[in-house]
A = this chain, B = another copy of it.
Amino acid sequence: MLEYAKPLANLIDELKRLPGIGAKSAQRIAFHLLKSEAAEVDRLSDAIKHLKESLNLCEICGNITDENPCNYCSDPARDAKLICFIEEPANIATIENTGRYRGTYHVLHGVLSPLQGVGPEHLRIGSLLDRIKKTAVEEVILATNPTAEGEATAFYLAKLLKPHGIRISRIATGIPVGSELDYVDAATVSRAMEGRREI
C-alpha cells in the first residue's frame, strides 16, 4: 500500500483540487517543491496567501485590479465608447493577447444559467445602464463564449441594450484558424457556413 508522509499527502490532496492538475501532476509538483530551495517554496506559498489581499473589482468594469478604476478603464488611450462584454476576468488576457483591441471591457462574472440558478441579477449588469449613459457608449461587442449559456447571455444583453441605440455585435463563430473542416464538429461547420462573408 502506498502511503506518503502526511505533509506530502496533504499537499498532493490540495494540489489535486486545482483545475487541470491530476494525481500525477500533483505528485510531480509536490516532489519538485520538496527538492526546491526553501526561499522558492516560501515565495509560492506567500504569493497564494497574499493573492486576494490587495485585489478588488474595478468599480467600472469588474476587472480584478489593485487600482480603482483598473488600468484599462483609466487609460486615456483606450476608447471608452467601445465596450467588450466578457464572462470572466481571465478573458481579458485572451483578448489583449491579440494586440488588436483598443476599447474597454465589462466583466459579467458569469453567464445566465437557469439550471444552476444564475439569473440576470447574479451577473454584473446592474451598473451597466449607468455606465452606458455616462460615457455615451457607441458600440458593444458581446464576447461571451459560444456555448448554450454564453449565447443565451449574449441574446439577453442584446435585448437589454437595443433600446439605447447602441451598435451591438457578437463575436464570430466558425472554423478556428489553422484547423481543418474535417476536424471540427458539425455545429461549428454549420455556423461557419451561415456566417460566410462575400470576398
Chain A 13-41 near chain B by CB (<8 Å), digits 1 or 0: 11101111100010111111110001011
A8 with B51: in contact, given A27-B90, A28-B90, A64-B34 (CB under 8 Å)?
yes
Q: Which of B4, B5, B51 contacts A33, CB < 8 Å?
A: B51
CB of B45 within 8 A of CB of A49, answer yes
CB of B41 within 8 A of CB of A7, answer no
Confirm or deny: A197 has a beta carbon within 8 angstroms of a beta carbon on chain B: no
Q: What is the total number of residues of chain A having a CB less than 8 Å from a CB of chain B?
A: 57
What are 25 residue pairs bridging A and B, where the CB atoms are less than 8 Å apart in the complex? A1-B96, A3-B71, A4-B93, A5-B66, A5-B67, A6-B66, A7-B47, A7-B50, A7-B52, A8-B64, A10-B47, A11-B51, A14-B43, A14-B47, A15-B44, A15-B47, A17-B40, A17-B44, A18-B29, A18-B44, A19-B28, A28-B90, A33-B48, A45-B45, A45-B49
Confirm or deny: A2 has a beta carbon within 8 angstroms of a beta carbon on chain B: yes
CB of A20 within 8 A of CB of B25, answer yes
Copies per complex of this chain:
2
Confirm or deny: A88 has a beta carbon within 8 angstroms of a beta carbon on chain B: yes
Confirm or deny: A65 has a beta carbon within 8 angstroms of a beta carbon on chain B: yes
CB of A34 within 8 A of CB of B7, answer no
- CB contact list, A73-100 vs B, under 8 A: 88-90, 92-93, 96-97
Give chain B residues whose Cβ lies under 8 Å from the Cβ of A53: 7
Chain B min CB distance to A104 (Å): 14
Confirm or deny: A130 has a beta carbon within 8 angstroms of a beta carbon on chain B: no
Q: Which of B32, B66, B67, B71 contacts A7, CB < 8 Å?
A: B66
